[in-house]
Amino acid sequence: MESIRVLIVEEFPLFRLGLRSLLRGVGGISVIAEAGAALQVRDLVEALVPDVLLVDIDSLSREEVDLVAAAARDFPGTKCLALSSGAEREQMCRAVFPDSVTILSKHATEAELELAVRLASAGRRYDARTAWGRPPAADPPAEDRPIRTQAHGARPTDGAAHDPLTLRQREILVLIARGVPNKGIASRLGISIKTVETHRLQLMKRLDIHDTAGLVCYAIRKRMIDPTS
């Protein structure tokens, strides 16, 4: 499978470095270029045809946002993922960018950034309210919901018969993927926080995964949670 090709648009070099470092550590995602100015975007998109245009709209003026939005409209094969820290900027972004634009809060986690990039490349919008299988506000919180070890309606994966995880480990992995903290997992399963931490370490060792973002993506790949339901 080819990597998702990402073009980063960020005015400040230090922030560009941070985004590049985060994404280059993720399998299946490749940062192919960076733009420090909006004037560069059209030429880079036309020449490189990235899958995802990752743009920090907080660092751009309104005129620069218009330039980037125009490039996104003219090259619909490149999906736009906009980073924003405020409602005003978000509203402006929705007004000028194509309807397919995804807006991600700068309060998002590494795992959420990765998932948003993957969804954007597939032409889907990321929604923080549902992306980790979290219910609407009127429904019970994740800690109180029944645990499914496979997303509803999903077909078993080929490796289901050779699952490397115990039932308890799968339960904990599902809760981690839903964003439940260690304390919440411990309360939900009736075990100590120390036991949760031990299971988390064992999960990482058994799966050869070294961070929470990797665990979340594993759960998505194995259809233990549904990122779009």
CATH number at residue 185: 1.10.10.10
- Number of structural domains in the chain: 2
DSSP 82: E
Q: What pLDDT does residue 134 have?
A: 41
The answer to whether residues 67 and 151 belong to one domain is no
Q: Please indicate, yes or no, if residue 155 is contained in any of the structural domains.
A: yes
The pair of three-digit structure tokens given for residue 150, joined into one six-digit string: 């496979």
Residue 80 CB-half CA count within 13 A:
30
Contact between residue 115 and residue 216 where contact means Cβ atoms under 8 Å apart: yes
Residue ending a domain, among 75, 90, 121, is 121
The answer to whether residues 45 and 93 belong to one domain is yes
Q: What pLDDT does residue 226 have?
A: 66
The answer to whether residues 113 and 37 belong to one domain is yes
Q: What pLDDT does residue 10 have?
A: 93
Q: What pLDDT does residue 34 have?
A: 95
The pair of three-digit structure tokens given for residue 188, joined into one six-digit string: 């939900």
The answer to whether residues 19 and 87 belong to one domain is yes
DSSP 154: P
Which amino acid is present at 138?
A
The answer to whether residues 99 and 37 belong to one domain is yes
The answer to whether residues 42 and 108 belong to one domain is yes
CATH number of the domain encompassing residue 50: 3.40.50.2300
Q: Please indicate, yes or no, if residue 196 is contained in any of the structural domains.
A: yes
Q: Which residue has the tokens 């090709």?
A: 5
Q: What pLDDT does residue 163 have?
A: 64
d(C-alpha 34, C-alpha 29), whole Å: 14
The answer to whether residues 72 and 162 belong to one domain is no
Which residues in 2-101 belong to E strands, given as ranges?
4-9, 29-35, 52-56, 79-84
Q: What pLDDT does residue 7 have?
A: 97
The answer to whether residues 77 and 167 belong to one domain is no
Q: Please indicate, yes or no, if residue 228 is contained in any of the structural domains.
A: no
Q: Please indicate, yes or no, if residue 130 is contained in any of the structural domains.
A: no
For 23, residues 6+ apart whose C-beta sits below 8 A from its C-beta are: 6, 8, 29, 31, 54, 113, 114, 117
Among candidate residues 47, 42, 54, 39, the one with its CA nearest the CA of residue 7:
54
The answer to whether residues 103 and 15 belong to one domain is yes
Q: What pLDDT does residue 4 have?
A: 92
- 86-102 in b/e form (b: 16+ CB < 10 A) is eeebbebbeebbeeebb
**Could you list the mean pLDDT of each consecutive 10-residue stretch along the chain, which spans 229 residues?**
89 91 86 94 95 92 90 92 84 81 84 87 70 40 42 43 75 86 88 90 88 80 69
The answer to whether residues 182 and 216 belong to one domain is yes
Q: Please indicate, yes or no, if residue 161 is contained in any of the structural domains.
A: yes
- For residue 64, CA distances in Å to 8, 90, 138, 160 come to 15, 15, 39, 49
Q: Please indicate, yes or no, if residue 51 is contained in any of the structural domains.
A: yes
The answer to whether residues 158 and 211 belong to one domain is yes
Q: What pLDDT does residue 162 have?
A: 53
Q: What pLDDT does residue 28 have?
A: 86
Contact between residue 161 and residue 206 where contact means Cβ atoms under 8 Å apart: no
The answer to whether residues 160 and 199 belong to one domain is yes
Domain membership of residue 67 as a residue range: 4-121
